[in-house]
């Protein structure tokens, strides 16, 4: 979370929660982050360094 909020960005949206049964969580583990811009999401990352690189 600190990597995501450590630098000012206009209009950020952060969302998190517990996985639950359903199609949204199929094939995902709880340790991933998606960075989306202009209605397109990048591949998920699962390290702090990977998240920092995506947030650039």
Q: Looking at the whole model, is its pTM more than 0.75? A: no
Give yes or no for residue 42 having a pLDDT over 80: yes
pLDDT of the residue at 49: 92
Say how far apart CA 38 and CA 25 lie, in whole Å: 23
Mean pLDDT of 11-39: 78
Give yes or no for residue 47 having a pLDDT over 80: yes
The set of long-range contacts for 13-19, using a CB threshold of 8 Å and a minimum separation of 24, is none
Q: What is the DSSP letter of 55?
A: H
């Amino acid at each position: 979370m600190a990597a995501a909020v450590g630098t000012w960005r206009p209009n950020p949206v952060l969302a998190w929660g517990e996985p639950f049964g359903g199609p949204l969580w199929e094939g995902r583990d709880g340790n991933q982050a998606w960075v989306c811009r202009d209605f397109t999401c990048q591949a998920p990352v699962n390290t702090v360094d990977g998240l920092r690189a995506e947030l650039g």
